[in-house]
Structure 1
């Protein structure tokens, strides 16, 4: 998630695992907790794989391209985290635009026991002017080409990003009902995602794919399930104002449990974050820390949740949208040359050192 789309809506670990990055090891461990028996009532924490990590943009955004891939992985490892979600710019041939940087990142991640989770954007939806078959073929071509080239790099694939926001009818719609979506747009998005999922699994038989949504848009994901699209993991984005308004408007104290009541698939919170307009004062110094600690604890305590991933590693002061400048858990002391942990990261480092 980048910009605070949710403002529009308003106006209308303890169980950290030490895991190998081997695809075989990851697949065998994950199979222990996946499938229809994985529910709040039946899932076992004894065999559970739990990922805790952070988002970043190591391929294409300045705070990251000025920082070596090795340094980024070292920071993640030092925080006791074991997953790094990254957006991968991919061309029409399925090729990552900066392959040498991905190779370095992968080598460092493997050495540190950190799993890379790629977010692969869908092909251009071109204003939804073509039929569903067209979007399926576009998605299939991208997914198959990408997996053919990089299937040995990854076990988990995040296909598309926040496409629920492209088919929601208006800011006044919560997203918890099918009637809240433009069905023509939805079906074309779903066709593209089906194609990506199918294409990836041609070349990577062990692939675990995930599709994400945010706010109360869980109905978007259940509609995708209803179409028979065989994705493996429910991914979700959850930010601090959503946590507050879920309690105020829906009497939901623990959204992880609410989401578990809607799906049988494993759940990954692939973005959690705090909207901060200033970068100063109690909101950034204290509130970010308390929100992260509280929500991460909820995720750990829910056996259906397999991952929680903070948005994001570094502040991004070069971006014009003010909230994006302050999402990081590390701040810049000197622009892109020296950085320091913000309170959440500092407290975590101190705790791990004890």
Structure 2
């Protein structure tokens, strides 16, 4: 009898532990939160090769999962900075950080029909995956391309009439071809496509044209409000998008608008901290990437709102951490 009671107790314990690992029908493994940050190790002065060791040191300190990096492509589908790309990705691997390339297939305006456009970018996608597929598991194709299709910045992007649908078709053919080409080589490769604010009809275009992507990569800044409770009448739109399009949702760019050009260090930290708290409780978003690692003072003359998005700034010849860096690191540590 005693043996039978012990056996029942053991069965109950196993059941309890199994149940406690499930939240809303999902295992904890399915609810792992992805942390990342943006940088430009191949394209921007503040991130040139002399700073690579510093970038790696900060990435290791933050314990991010991914480093989202822009990777312009030649018309072959290969990286324009191939030697640098290989070298940097190897260094990322040494600190257990994964690259998330944001790739920009070169736009060929001479090809205007659907079949030739599809085939051209299909071959580029195949080449990209053959060359780099073993190095990456997720890639973002394009960067806020919906903004190139919306007729006016005054429109909120929620309906078809806001878009140039002729131009949109050509962009959809490109995305179809490039992504299908990549997945022909590596079917497990996950693809993110980015958009911002309430530009939801872009997702409808992707759906109508059967673009085979996996992640909605939201870009969200403080001037857009609260991503978990957008301006009226939209409110909490994320669960609707997730259910309708059946995609995972990451935020692949996030910060105060203009970084610390228009915000103090303290207000940047407060916005990021309060937003992350809401995002983690919300549970629809499963990844967050801060934009970006370093300030870029060289951008100031041409892009006055762009130079101070970094979590790290230069004071003389020394790099200094903004309070937002410290709070971001703290949140990452709390979920590891």
Deviations 1:129-174 (A, max 9, x none): 7122232223212211111111101110111111101111222321
Relative to structure 1, the CA distance from residue 278 to residue 289 in structure 2 (aligned partners, 3 Å threshold; closer, same or farther) is closer
2:90 to 102, 107, 116: 107
2:255 to 273, 290, 293: 273
CA RMSD of aligned residues (A): 2.7
1:193 to 145, 165, 175: 175
- Determine the structure 2 residue equivalent to 1:29: none
- Determine the structure 2 residue equivalent to 1:317: 297
**Conserved 8 A contact 2:74-2:105:** no
**Conserved 8 A contact 1:214-1:237:** yes
- Determine the structure 1 residue equivalent to 2:32: 49
- Determine the structure 2 residue equivalent to 1:14: none
Q: Distance in 1 between matches of 2:283 and 2:53?
A: 32
1:87-236 matches, within 5 Å, as 87-126=70-109, 130-236=112-218
Matched residue pairs, number? 310
Q: TM-score, normalised by structure 2?
A: 0.83
**Conserved 8 A contact 2:258-2:308:** yes
Structure 1: unaligned runs, 5 residues or longer: 1-39
Relative to structure 1, the CA distance from residue 118 to residue 177 in structure 2 (aligned partners, 3 Å threshold; closer, same or farther) is same
Deviations 1:92-120 (A, max 9, x none): 22222333322232222222221110011
Deviation, structure 1 residue 229? 1.7
Relative to structure 1, the CA distance from residue 351 to residue 305 in structure 2 (aligned partners, 3 Å threshold; closer, same or farther) is closer
Relative to structure 1, the CA distance from residue 168 to residue 70 in structure 2 (aligned partners, 3 Å threshold; closer, same or farther) is same
Alignment partner of 1:59 is 2:39: no
**Conserved 8 A contact 1:159-1:210:** yes
Deviations 1:62-121 (A, max 9, x none): 110154333212202212322110001221222223333222322222222211100111
Deviation, structure 1 residue 278? 6.3
Partner SS for 1:150: helix
**Conserved 8 A contact 2:220-2:254:** yes
Tell me which of the two structures has the higher relative contact order, counting C-alpha pairs closer than 8 angstroms and 6 or more residues apart.
Answer: 1
Q: Distance in 1 between matches of 2:268 and 2:119?
A: 42
- Determine the structure 1 residue equivalent to 2:61: 78
More deviation in 132-141 or 246-255? 246-255
Deviation, structure 1 residue 350? 7.2
**Conserved 8 A contact 1:238-1:273:** yes
Relative to structure 1, the CA distance from residue 300 to residue 95 in structure 2 (aligned partners, 3 Å threshold; closer, same or farther) is same
More deviation in 44-53 or 288-297? 44-53
Q: TM-score, normalised by structure 1?
A: 0.79
**Conserved 8 A contact 1:86-1:116:** yes
**Conserved 8 A contact 1:56-1:313:** yes
